[in-house]
């Protein structure tokens, strides 16, 4: 069975401004998602599901549809909205912030029944990353709790124009994930690479640390387990105005309670993305070179 690609595209890119997922950065006006879908098709994915918001659905669908990809892959859409909550829960008064990446995944529960990969809409992951992910997922049919992720070197994922958030991974000797810690405000300083904690203190991070760029692979049972965990999350933190149900939170829970194992896949691919408006020229130049080299 061919795996499915789930694209998290509901974020409006507040730091970048506007619907950055629709920004043409390739030589012929291609958007970053075009490259991810092209790489996924070549790697053997059979369907792509986009998580979007209803507020920009029409604009998105005009640009991104099955015809846009030459009819080579099936396309579906699901919607992430603040009020998409389990029975018995409601949006706290005054909350505007979305519920996070793992909430976005839950929106695709009825659209995906096979092993699937998850990516961010505005990140370039590289062809090899999709190849190793697809190969792993195609060996998971019928299994439960056998997850995976593609790991990248931290130093290859930073922006020169501001700080970033990354899931910093601890990997055991057999190549399985032991745990993942969401670090925010990571950047280069005079002391190397550091992150800032909640009270503003700086802490060092090694450049060769393995980080998650939200390229995960799951079996369909992930939806049911995540849904149950979301209820627990909402009971504990649902009234916080800025609490988010992140993928690392769910993954760590399933690893710690013994439900799942997550293989960390190695890749030769280089990640890059547009976190800030100032990152755009670098992305344009790197894509131009890939076209010149015949990659696309």
pLDDT, tens only, 169-209: 999 999 999 988 889 899 999 999 999 998 999 999 999 99
* Tens-digit pLDDT profile for residues 3-20: 999 999 987 444 444 455
What number is the average pLDDT over the span 206-226?
95
| Nearest-angstrom CA–CA distance, 1 and 115 | 8
The pLDDT, as a whole number, for residue 184 is 87
Of 237, 241, 233, the closest CA to residue 96 belongs to 241
Pairing of strands 47-52, 74-79: parallel
| Nearest-angstrom CA–CA distance, 210 and 264 | 9
pLDDT over 90 for what percent of the chain? 74
The pLDDT, as a whole number, for residue 182 is 84
The pLDDT, as a whole number, for residue 13 is 41
What number is the average pLDDT over the span 107-116?
97
What number is the average pLDDT over the span 55-79?
88
What number is the average pLDDT over the span 277-292?
94
* Tens-digit pLDDT profile for residues 225-261: 999 999 999 999 999 999 999 998 999 999 999 999 9
What number is the average pLDDT over the span 119-129?
93
Dihedral angle of Cα 266, 147, 52, 40, to the nearest 10 degrees:
50
| Nearest-angstrom CA–CA distance, 122 and 19 | 10
| Nearest-angstrom CA–CA distance, 168 and 211 | 5
The pLDDT, as a whole number, for residue 88 is 92
pTM tops 0.85, yes or no = yes
Q: Where are the beta strands (DSSP E) in the chain?
A: 4-8, 47-52, 74-79, 116-120, 123-124, 146-153, 164-171, 177-189, 192-196, 202-204, 210-218, 261-265, 272-273
Q: Pinpoint the alpha helices (H) of the chain.
A: 32-43, 57-63, 101-106, 127-137, 221-237, 247-256, 280-292
- Between the CA of residue 264 and those of 8, 111, 113, 129, 217, what are the distances in Å? 21, 26, 23, 12, 10
Whose structure tokens read 């290859």?
156
Among 19-23, 86-90, 93-97, 272-276, the least confident range: 19-23
∠ Cα 73 75 80 (to 5°): 145
The pLDDT, as a whole number, for residue 14 is 42
The pLDDT, as a whole number, for residue 19 is 56
| Contact in structure between 74 and 162 (CB atoms under 8 Å) | no
What number is the average pLDDT over the span 152-168?
91
| Contact in structure between 6 and 118 (CB atoms under 8 Å) | yes
Domains of the chain: 4-151+211-292 (3.90.550.10)
The pLDDT, as a whole number, for residue 16 is 41
Higher-pLDDT residue of 20, 156: 156
What number is the average pLDDT over the span 93-106?
93
- Between the CA of residue 7 and those of 10, 21, 256, 257, what are the distances in Å? 9, 11, 27, 27
Of 126, 129, 148, 128, the closest CA to residue 137 belongs to 148
The pLDDT, as a whole number, for residue 142 is 83
Supply the mean pLDDT for the chain: 91
Q: Does 104 score more than 50 pLDDT?
A: yes
């Amino acid at each position: 069975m061919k795996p499915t690609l789930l694209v998290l595209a509901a974020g409006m890119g507040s730091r970048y401004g506007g619907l950055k997922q629709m920004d043409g950065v390739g030589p012929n006006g291609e958007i970053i998602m075009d490259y991810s879908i092209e790489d996924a098709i070549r790697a053997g994915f059979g369907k792509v599901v986009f998580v979007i918001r209803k507020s920009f659905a029409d604009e998105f669908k005009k640009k991104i549809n099955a015809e846009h990809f030459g009819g080579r892959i099936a396309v579906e859409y699901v919607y992430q909205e603040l009020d998409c909550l389990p029975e018995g829960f409601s949006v706290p008064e005054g909350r505007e912030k979305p519920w996070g990446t793992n909430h976005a995944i839950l929106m695709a529960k009825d659209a995906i029944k096979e092993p699937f990969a998850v990516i961010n809409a505005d990140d370039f992951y590289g062809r090899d990353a999709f190849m190793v992910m697809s190969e792993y997922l195609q060996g998971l049919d019928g299994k439960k709790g056998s997850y995976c992720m593609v790991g990248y070197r931290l130093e290859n994922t930073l922006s020169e124009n501001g700080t970033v958030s990354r899931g910093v991974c601890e990997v055991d000797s057999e190549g399985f994930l032991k745990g993942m810690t969401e670090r925010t405000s990571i950047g280069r300083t005079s002391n190397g690479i550091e992150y800032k904690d909640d009270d503003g203190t700086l802490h060092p991070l090694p450049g060769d640390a393995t980080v998650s760029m939200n390229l995960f692979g799951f079996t369909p049972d992930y939806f049911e387990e995540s849904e149950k965990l979301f209820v627990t999350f909402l009971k504990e933190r649902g009234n916080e105005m800025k609490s988010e149900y992140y993928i690392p939170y769910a993954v760590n829970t399933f690893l710690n309670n013994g439900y799942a194992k997550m293989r960390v896949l190695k890749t030769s691919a280089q990640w890059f993305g547009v976190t800030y408006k100032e990152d755009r020229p670098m992305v344009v130049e790197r894509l131009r070179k890939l076209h010149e080299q015949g990659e696309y």
